[in-house]
A and B are shown apart, each in its own frame.
Chain A
Amino acid sequence: MYRYIFRRLLMMIPLLIGITLISFTVIHLAPGEPTDLQTEMNPQASSDLQARLLKQYGLDKPLHEQYLHWLGRLVQLDFGNSFSQDNRPVFAKITERLPVTILLNLLSLQVILVVALPLGVISAVRRNSLFDRSATVLVFVGFAMPSFWLALLMMDWFGVRLGWLPVSGLKSLGYEYMTVSGQFLDRITHLIIPVFIAAIGGLAGFSRYMRSNMLDVVRQDYIMTARAKGLSERTVIYKHALRNALLPVITILGLSLPGLIGGSVIFETIFAIPGMGKLFYDGVMMRDYPLIMGVLVIGAVLTLAGNLLADISYALADPRIRQGESRGL
């Protein structure tokens, strides 16, 4: 097992280098340069500004030199400085945005799991019942509805008309002057609509997945055996079937690891939440190469780590796989 993990980790190195090489090339292929914002169509900019800026950012060197330079810094865990006018370290910019994004994603993932898994199980157990059908319709409506539209409606209704919840942002203006419990409450009220909106689109996927898993498992021989033993339907479903149906969910959870740091631009724009999505989007628009690469590298590492994690936990959870592997080794 450990040898297996070690081998997988070792494999990640060339994979990562490949990913960065491709991303680096593709980004530089796009027309436009980080200096454009200051120099293009600016009546005040002098003609040599472009050259000065290119030199400052090291963009006057050949592409392969730029890549090696960047890679050299990355090995020392230095993502470089942003090309935007503030010249701040990319790492600082990312870590500043990361907590909010992770918090929102974790909360919405939790809501999704808590709602979608039971929904899927019940739908499967009572297949084609009224509950199953209406649940199906509802989750698909949630999935299909444009989230920005629903968000605006909710903000208008709960924020403006009823005045129950704040419209946007993460904290109220007088946050610094609130008591600790007031601050906590303030945080929560700011999160309600965003988390709801983020979760509603994800319900469909998980609940349908759970439903079909469950339906598969219920048809298995060991379920028939369990029933034949005279176990109660409850025990059959929630002890024997559910455990097995949950297995593939582990894989999905592992794969959603990189999703935790990814934010949606539309979502963050609507709620005025300074998260990773907006950071990355603005970075791409400004051709802020170090920032784009920084976010991509973190995303790539998490994707690879998520895959590994999913495989390992799958092996831990499912004895069939574990045994199959040891036999193979």
Chain B
Amino acid sequence: MMRLVILVLVVLLAACSQSDQLRSLEQPDDKKPVFGDTFIEGSIGDASTLLPILASDSASSTINGLVYSGLVRYNGDLKVVGDLAESWDISEDNLTITFHLRKNITWHDGVPMTSADVLFTYQLYVDPETPTAYAESYRQVKKAEAPDDYTFKVTYEQPYAPALISWSLSILPKHLLEGVKITESRLARHPVGTGPYRFVEWLDGEKIVLEANPDYFAEGPYIKRFVFRIIPDTSTQFLEIQTGGLDYMSLQPLQYDRQTDTPAFKRLFNKYRYLSFGYTYLGYNLKRPLFQDRRVRQALSYAIDKQEIIDGVLLGYGKIATGPYKPDTWVYNPDVPRYDYNPKKARELLAAAGWADRDGDGILDKDGKPFRFTIVTNQGNDLRSKAGEIIQRRFRQVGVDVQLRIIEWATFLKEFIHPGKFDATILGWSTGPDPDQYNIWHSSKTGPRELNFVGYKNAEVDALLEKGRRVFDEQQRKQSYDRIQQILAEDQPYTFLFVPESLSAVASRFHGIKPTAAGIRYNFTQWYVPQRLQKFSR
């Protein structure tokens, strides 16, 4: 026993002195980016295809984002900046965008990249034979042309505000894809792009390896190798990161909060937290008589303690959602009606809507019918089912009896959501920096398999959604979306629950990481490891 205690003490002492040593060694030339080292990322899923036009999973997009480039991209402040395009002009009538491409860009195989590649990529996206999920934005284009090697011009039927950022699509190499059936192209396994990293190898289910592109047209990249290790279990990832087998992983709230709170971990890793693009909500089926009275929906929103859900389910790593936008973005409107937990107000609103406990069973009733409904959600998402249980308890306290049903995803969609056979559902949307949410809120999108499945219809919102798509100026757009947020908050077609935070750990030898509203990965090409901290020489 004594021996064990001494051993523990020795280990602790060793750990202490080591960290002091490291801190004292922090040197001024650590500030200057240098080339070298390897970055190993842990992912729970393998990529599906490295042709961005066909990929729709996050693992594929991580790799594709490093291998390919678009004409434009978002910077750390979520502003649109040039990528392959040096600059662009938007015509007076907002109908034509002319991109001026950078010169001397080559594909990873050495062939020069020109506007012909851009035109080819566009044509591939709108080709009816191409099974891509991303054709919609490009179908709005009336005419696309490449007048010379470094100019690309698109004309739209109507002004379309998300147009500019839609050209962040990965540009594909014409010389390798022309005349090939896109679904049979070998590029799906051996991508060739213009991005900061070149493809090296892909061992199915094991890892994907990339290496720095020495001919990259912009600054960087500084990290020589990028290894994407597929480790499906997050506990295993967590063990791997502790042995140095990983340099980056996303953390669960529990891992972030408790398990990484050790001196050893803090010395070797920096932890990052930032709001993710997306939110979780409780959506009401507005075709059901039960939810047609706005006061009822407002009452239910008052009855839910959102902070309690965040604390209980996310261990506090999230923010209360007040509408469909992320709180730290330009489009977010903070001045909307809030529904902070208030059971008294909930009861008042329900009483005003005619709901009272007339038979004394603790459940509200109206016209002899009790206030009883079922919340459905999909299996496999712990956050949702736990939030459901907390909501169930709070609803019971205001006299609303709720059942919770958790159903396998495919069945959930086929049997409940698509045919509209549900009362209320807990689901989430992942959103992007562009505020256009036409597909989710417009009254024309309430058909089967469409995204406004709760059946929300509001003429003013319809008009504002259309207007928001037609103007380019950020301030003008904001006016439309501010108003939409206000109306949605009053109408409460959803009770907006929370925006979760993305939590991650990155090995502390990586410098140059600057967290913003866009997260941390947006400037990956600027990350570097100071010479003396470099771990891998090959």
Binding site for B on A (CB under 8 A): 30-33, 36-47, 49-50, 52-53, 56, 84-88, 93, 96-97, 152, 155-156, 159-160, 163, 166-171, 173-174, 177, 268-272, 274, 278-279, 287
Contact A52 B232 (CB under 8 A): no
Instruction: Tell me which residues across on chain B come within 8 A of A87, comparing CB atoms.
Output: 49, 183-184, 188
User: B183, A56: Cβ atoms under 8 Å?
Assistant: yes
> CA of A174 to CA of B244 in the docked complex: distance in angstroms?
13
Q: How far is the CB of A183 from chain B (nearest CB, A)?
A: 15
**Beta-carbon contact of B239 and A152 below 8 Å:** yes
Query: Which of B239, B409, B437 is close to A160, meaning CB atoms less than 8 Å apart?
Result: B239
16 of the cross-chain contacts (CB-CB < 8 Å) are A31-B408, A38-B131, A43-B429, A46-B135, A46-B139, A49-B132, A56-B131, A85-B48, A86-B188, A87-B183, A166-B243, A167-B239, A168-B236, A168-B245, A271-B236, A274-B203
B450 at the interface (CB under 8 A from A): yes
B205 interface residue, CB < 8 Å from A? yes
The 0/1 profile, CB within 8 Å of A marked 1, for residues 209-237 of chain B is: 00000000000000000010111110110
Closest to B203 in A: A274
Residues of B within 8 A of A96 (CB): 204
Contacts of B46 in A (CB 8 A): 274
Give B106-150 as 1s and 0s: 1 = Cβ < 8 Å from A's Cβ atoms: 000000000000000000000010011111110100000000000
A32 touches B410 (CB 8 A): yes
- Residue of A36, A160, A274 touching B410 (CB-CB under 8 A): A36
Across-interface contacts of A177 in B (CB, < 8 A): 538
B49 and A86 contacting across the interface, CB-CB below 8 Å: yes
Q: In the bound complex, do residue A270 and residue B133 qualify as a contact, i.e. CB atoms below 8 Å apart?
A: no
* Residues of A with C-beta under 8 A to B409: 32
How far apart are A26's CB and chain B's nearest CB, in angstroms? 15
Once A41-B451, A272-B233 are accepted as A-B contacts, the answer to whether A166 and B245 lie under 8 Å apart by CB is yes
* Shortest distance between the CB of A289 and any CB in chain B (Å): 13
**B75-83, B396-404, B411-419: which lies at the interface:** B411-419
4 smallest beta-carbon distances between A and B, as pairs: A32-B410, A274-B205, A272-B231, A85-B48
B232 CB contacts on chain A under 8 angstroms: 268-269, 272, 278
In the complex, the answer to whether B131 meets A52 with C-beta atoms within 8 Å is yes
Hey, which chain B residues are within 8 Å of A174, CB to CB?
Answer: 536, 538
Contact residues in A for B415 (Cβ distance below 8 Å) = 31
User: Given that A32-B414, A87-B184, A155-B236 are known contacts, is A93 also in contact with B204, CB under 8 Å in the complex?
Assistant: yes
Interface of chain A: mostly helix, strand, loop or mixed: loop
Interchain CA distance A56-B136 in the complex, whole Å: 19
Contact in complex: B411, A173 (CB < 8 Å): no
Tell yes or no: B449 within 8 A of A by CB.
yes
Residue of A nearest to B230 (CB): A272
Residues on A with beta carbons closer than 8 Å to the beta carbon of B328: none
Q: Which of A30, A37, A40, A278 lies at the interface centre, i.e. has the most chain B CB atoms within 10 A of its CB?
A: A40
Residue on B with the closest CB to A270?
A: B233
- A-side contacts of B132, CB under 8 Å: 49
Give every chain B residue within 8 A of A50 (Cβ-Cβ): 449
- Specify the chain B residue showing the minimal Cβ separation from A165: B243
Q: CB within 8 A of A31: which of B229, B242, B245, B411?
A: B411
Binding site for A on B (CB under 8 A): 38, 40, 46, 48-49, 54-57, 60, 128, 131-137, 139, 183-184, 188-189, 203-206, 227, 229-233, 235-236, 239-240, 242-243, 245, 408-411, 413-415, 427, 429, 437, 439-440, 449-451, 536, 538
Assess whether B133 is in contact with A39, with CB atoms less than 8 Å apart: yes
B304, chain A: closest CB distance, angstroms: 23
A167 partner residues in chain B, CB cutoff 8 A: 236, 239-240, 243, 245
A41:B139 contact, CB within 8 angstroms: no
Residue in A closest to B136 when the chains form the complex, CB atoms: A46
How many Å lie between the Cα of A75 and that of B227 in the bound state?
41
The docked-state distance in angstroms from the alpha carbon of A96 to that of B232 is 18
Residue from the list A44, A46, A53, A270 in contact with B236, Cβ < 8 A: A270
Expressed in whole angstroms, the Cα–Cα distance for A44 and B242 within the complex equals: 38
**Cβ-neighbour of B134 out of A31, A44, A270 (below 8 A):** A44
Residues of B within 8 A of A169 (CB): 206, 229, 231, 245
Contact between chains at B233 and A45 (CB < 8 Å) = no
Chain A residues in 8 Å Cβ range of B48: 84-86
Check if B411 sits within 8 Å of A45, measured CB to CB: no
What separation, in Å, do the CA atoms of A15 and B189 have in the docked complex?
A: 38
Least CB distance from B112 to A in Å reads 29
Contact of B133 among A44, A97, A171, A268 (CB under 8 A): A44
Once A87-B183, A160-B243, A272-B231 are accepted as A-B contacts, the answer to whether A44 and B136 lie under 8 Å apart by CB is yes
Tell me, in angstroms, the Cα distance from A318 to B206 when the chains sit together.
46
Q: Is the CB of B133 within 8 A of A42?
A: yes
Tell me the complex Cα distance, A30–B409, Å.
12
- With contacts A31-B408, A52-B128 known, what are 19 further pairs, Cβ within 8 A? A42-B133, A44-B136, A46-B135, A46-B139, A49-B131, A56-B183, A85-B48, A93-B204, A152-B236, A159-B239, A167-B243, A168-B240, A177-B538, A269-B233, A269-B236, A271-B236, A272-B230, A272-B233, A274-B46
- Cβ-defined contact, B231 with A160, below 8 A: no
How distant is A161 from chain B, measured CB to nearest CB, in Å?
Answer: 9
Task: List, in ascending order, chain A residues with CB within 8 A of B205's CB.
Answer: 97, 274, 278-279
Please give the distance in Å from B163's CB to the nearest CB on chain A. Answer: 14
Contact B233 A30 (CB under 8 A): no
Q: Is the CB of A42 within 8 A of B183?
A: no
Query: A210 → chain B, closest Cβ, in Å?
Result: 34
Bound-state Cα–Cα, A272 to B134, Å: 32
**B56 CB contacts on chain A under 8 angstroms:** 37-38, 42, 85
B231 cross-chain contacts in A, Cβ below 8 A = 168-169, 272
A107 vs chain B, min Cβ distance (A) = 19
Q: A32-B411, A43-B440, A96-B204 are in contact. Are A85 and B227 (CB under 8 A)?
A: no
A43-B243 CB under 8 A given contacts A37-B56, A272-B229: no
Shortest distance between the CB of A193 and any CB in chain B (Å): 11
Residues of B within 8 A of A168 (CB): 231, 236, 239-240, 245
Q: How far is the CB of B289 from chain A (nearest CB, A)?
A: 26
A255–chain B nearest beta-carbon distance, Å: 28
A166 to B49, CA, bound (A): 29
